[in-house]
Structure formats: structure tokens, C-alpha cells
């Protein structure tokens, strides 16, 4: 925050008043890319956007989210670690709700909201980045694992 204030030619207090905290700054830096991702899954073409069956959209959502984390994961980690957790991030509530809606569309019972939270947690930036950076898991393998998981959940396998 000190370096940002210095680069901007303002006092540190000005930076804190504008962003509230380090998490607020990180969330601001992520806001445009997050809005673009949200627009793609809410309004874009299928399979990520409306028009494809729920399972296809779930698979596309996970693949898209994994790609997003690979591109913006370090900022997402900084935002999460500087806040009180992922549940505090409004976008995370939207992702979980989106997964829940797709599960409901596929007839998933019981408690699709609870399963949506479990599925969303597998897309946590810290988890995904650790798998890639520490264990050498490829992005393709992450997407394949997500596809297998949601397919089994939806089909009850």
C-alpha cells in the first residue's frame, strides 16, 4: 500500500480511504476480469452461457473458472488472504449460486445448495494453484477431474 501511494503521488491514507483495505485493492484490480467472466457464464454463448444443458454448463463453468484462476490466481489469493475469507467475496456467492441453479436444472436432489458449496470449494484459487505449482498437475488434468466430478454428481454415479 505504501508503494502504491508513493507511485500514485498520494498519501497512504488516501489509498486506504479509496480501497478500504488491501483486500479492497485486490478486489478492485480483479473487478473487470471478474465482470467479464460473469458476463460469459450468465449471458454468453453456450456451453458456458445459457442454451446448453446444465451438465454441459457445469463442465464449461469449471473449465472457465480453472482458466481464470491460472490467469488471475495470485491476485485472487491476495484478495482472499487479506479479507476474512472467500465467503466474503461477492463473486464467490454468485459462483456458488450459479452452480446450484445448474444442479437444480439437472434435477439434483437433495440440497443442491449444499452440493454447490462443495463443488465450488474444489475451484478455490489456493487449492488449484497448489495443485499446479506444488504437485505439477496440469490444467488439462484439473479440467478432466472437474468434468468427472460434476458428471458423477449429476448422474449419481
- Residue 93 neighbours by CB distance under 10 Å: 13
pTM of the model: 0.81
Q: What is the pLDDT of residue 29?
A: 72
Q: In this structure, are residues 115 and 106 in contact, taking their beta carbons and an 8 Å threshold?
A: no
C-alpha cell at 71: 490467469
pLDDT in tens, 95-115: 999 999 999 999 998 899 999
Amino acid at each position: 500500500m505504501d508503494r502504491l501511494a508513493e507511485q500514485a503521488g498520494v498519501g497512504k491514507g488516501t489509498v486506504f480511504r479509496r480501497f478500504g483495505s488491501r483486500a479492497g485493492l485486490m478486489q478492485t484490480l480483479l473487478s473487470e476480469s471478474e465482470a467479464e467472466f460473469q458476463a460469459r457464464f450468465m449471458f454468453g454463448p453456450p456451453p458456458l452461457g445459457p442454451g446448453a444443458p446444465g451438465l454441459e454448463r457445469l463442465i464449461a463453468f469449471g473449465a472457465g473458472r480453472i482458466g481464470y484462476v491460472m490467469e488471475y490466481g495470485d491476485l485472487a489469493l491476495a484478495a482472499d488472504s487479506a479479507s476474512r475469507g472467500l465467503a466474503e467475496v461477492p463473486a464467490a456467492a454468485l459462483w456458488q449460486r450459479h452452480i446450484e441453479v445448474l444442479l437444480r436444472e439437472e434435477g439434483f436432489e437433495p440440497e443442491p445448495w449444499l452440493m454447490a458449496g462443495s463443488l465450488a470449494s474444489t475451484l478455490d484459487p489456493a487449492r488449484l494453484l497448489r495443485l499446479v505449482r506444488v504437485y505439477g498437475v496440469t490444467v488439462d488434468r484439473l479440467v478432466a477431474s472437474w468434468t468427472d466430478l460434476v458428471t458423477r454428481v449429476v448422474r449419481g454415479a
